Amino acid sequence: MGLVVLKFGGSSVADTEAIQRVAWTIAETYSEGNNVVTVLSAQADTTDELIRKAKELNPNPSMREMDVLLSTGEQASVALMAMALEKLGLPVVSLTGWQIGMNTDSDYGSARIKSLSAERLKAELDRRRIVLVAGFQGVNKFDDITTIGRGGSDTTAVAIAVALNADLCKIYTDVDGVYTADPNKVPGAKKLDEITYDEMIELASLGAQILHNRSVEMAKRYGVKMEVLSSLHRKPGTIIKGVTKVEHTKISGVAKDSNIARIALVGLRDEPGVAFKVFRVLANAKINIDIILQSIGRDFTNDISFTVSREDMNKAIEILEENKDVIGYTEINTTDKIAKISIVGAGMMSSPGVAAMMFEALYDSKINIAMISTSEIKVSVLVDENDADRSVATIHAKFFGA
Ligand code: ASP
Ligand code: MG
């Protein structure tokens, strides 16, 4: 007998039929003798729908009231699921974030989990009840409801797994695991049996939106084993853990991120402190920088280019223009017609030539690289937006076969 935390996303509980199907999965896990805590998201598009309704009444509602509103989606899901399980004759209780002692800070809309008391959870499990927990929500020190960011139910599930020292945290979703590339776009994409936390974090932040990134970071910090699997098919998914079996392939996946813009500052003085000034003013404005490239110009000048997310592009330009005299440059060039393509793999550290293989694949397809950046387990390139999908396909074929 073990203790498992299950989490089902919005599409897995979209309607009555889906709820009944999930109820059977929960019932089965429970009947095998496990203690079961299940975290649910709001049904299908409920959260988006609630946001739409709110904006209709007030384009700028207070974040506090937004959280009161948005937390109801998850509350409805757990109540409905409890009813479905009651119908199956099983002992069940549904609980909200505050009832389980999910304490967060007061950053409404993207609150951070501070602690989870878990007493109520343990008491219910001791009574052999199935516990259903509303995901994505907590309570702050003022006893007000908070939410922890879009997609946050994954993180709720991992936080519970940590607090209860669970054997496994299973994230059921509408894909059957983590793939070597987007299976909807790359025909040869393969499902991975295992992936490390670090690889998953990279793939998630690179735009393979399967899991809430904070959930994987938390799982890594506390060593919680996760599994991503389909709520429709009964087959094993992808296990996420610290160390994986030695794979035959050098990389775990190819990802595309289109939410990216490039800014180039031309004609900077070639002297100490210039890069510092550029990135200090941007950091003060809380703009995240990704790839940075400095190139040598002519006549004692430098160019610095870097990337930001598309929604930060205009703000970044504004800040740089405001500080033009302090920084000292002649021109700003920007484009958002680009995409970042990355390969990720823990195996990269021990096998040379991985980057070269990627560049060769792009060369074979006559795709020009605008910028390159590397880390221990990742190589990223910037390419023209129009070449993005072709880049993923050709790189994927190079590493995994067509
Ligand atoms: N319902 C929330 C959202 O749509 C949280 C979640 O699904 O994890 O973002
Ligand atoms: Mg999700």
What DSSP string describes 276-329? HHHHHHHHHTT-----EEEEE-STTEEEEEEEE-GGGHHHHHHHHHHTHHHH--
Q: Which residues lie near ion ligand 2 (Cβ < 5 Å)? A: 9, 151
Is the pLDDT reported for residue 360 higher than 90? yes
Residue 351 binned pLDDT confidence (cut-offs 50, 70, 90): confident
When pLDDT is cut at 50, 70 and 90, the band that residue 245 belongs to is confident
Closest ligand 1 atom, CA of 152? Answer: 8
State the burial class of residue 277 (Cβ atoms within 10 Å of its Cβ: 0-12, 13-18, 19+). middle
Atom of ligand 1 nearest to the CA of 153: 8
Measured from the alpha carbon of residue 213, the closest ligand is 2
- Average pLDDT score over the chain: 94
pLDDT tops 70 at residue 212:
yes
Question: How many other C-beta atoms lie within 10 A of the C-beta of residue 272?
Answer: 7
Average pLDDT over residues 301-316: 95
Task: Determine if ligand 1 sits within 6 Å of the CB of residue 135.
Answer: yes
Tokens found for residue 197 = 């936390």
CA distance 166 to 172: 16
Distance between Cα 135 and ligand 1 center (Å) = 8
pLDDT at 243: 85
Q: How does pLDDT run across 85-124, given as a tens digit for each residue? A: 999 999 999 999 999 999 999 999 999 999 999 999 999 9
Mean pLDDT of the 17-44 span: 97
Ligand index nearest the alpha carbon of residue 67: 1
User: Residue 58 carries which DSSP code?
Assistant: -
Q: What is the pLDDT, as a whole number, of residue 299?
A: 78
177 CA to centre of ligand 2 in angstroms:
13
pLDDT of residue 13: 97
CA dist 171 and 342 (Å) reads 25
pTM: 0.88
Q: Is 40's pLDDT higher than 70?
A: yes
Residue 337 is predicted with a pLDDT of: 97
Joined together, the tokens standing for residue 218 give: 């938390």
| pLDDT score of 37 more than 80 | yes
Q: Residue 136 C-alpha to ligand 1 middle, in angstroms?
A: 6
pLDDT at 135: 98
pLDDT by residue (tens digit) across 117-165? Answer: 999 999 999 999 999 999 999 999 999 999 999 999 999 999 999 999 9
For residue 211, give the ligand nearest its CA.
2
For residue 9, give the ligand 1 atom closest to its CA: 7
Sorting pLDDT into bands at 50, 70 and 90, what band is 167? confident
- Atom index in ligand 1 nearest the CA of residue 136 equals 5
**Residue 41 Cα: closest atom of ligand 1:** 7
Band of residue 174 on the pLDDT scale cut at 50, 70, 90:
confident
Residue 75 has pLDDT above 80, yes or no: yes
- Is the CB–ligand 1 distance for residue 47 below 6 Å? yes
Q: How confident is the model at residue 246 (pLDDT cuts 50, 70, 90)?
A: low
Distance of CA 201 to the CA centre of its chain: 7
Under the phi-then-psi rule, with left for phi > 0, alpha for psi from -120 to 50, and beta for the rest, what region is 211? Answer: beta
149: left (phi over 0), alpha (psi -120 to 50) or beta: left
Name which residue sits closest to atom 9 of ligand 1, judged by CA: 150
Least confident piece of the model among 65-79, 132-146, 166-180, 287-301: 287-301
What average pLDDT score do residues 292-317 get?
Answer: 91
Which stretch of 79-83, 247-251, 314-318, 334-338 has the lowest confidence by average pLDDT? 247-251
pLDDT in tens, 257-273: 999 999 999 999 988 99
Only one residue has tokens 């609980």, namely 95
Amino acid at 187: P
Closest CA to 385 of 207, 291, 257: 257
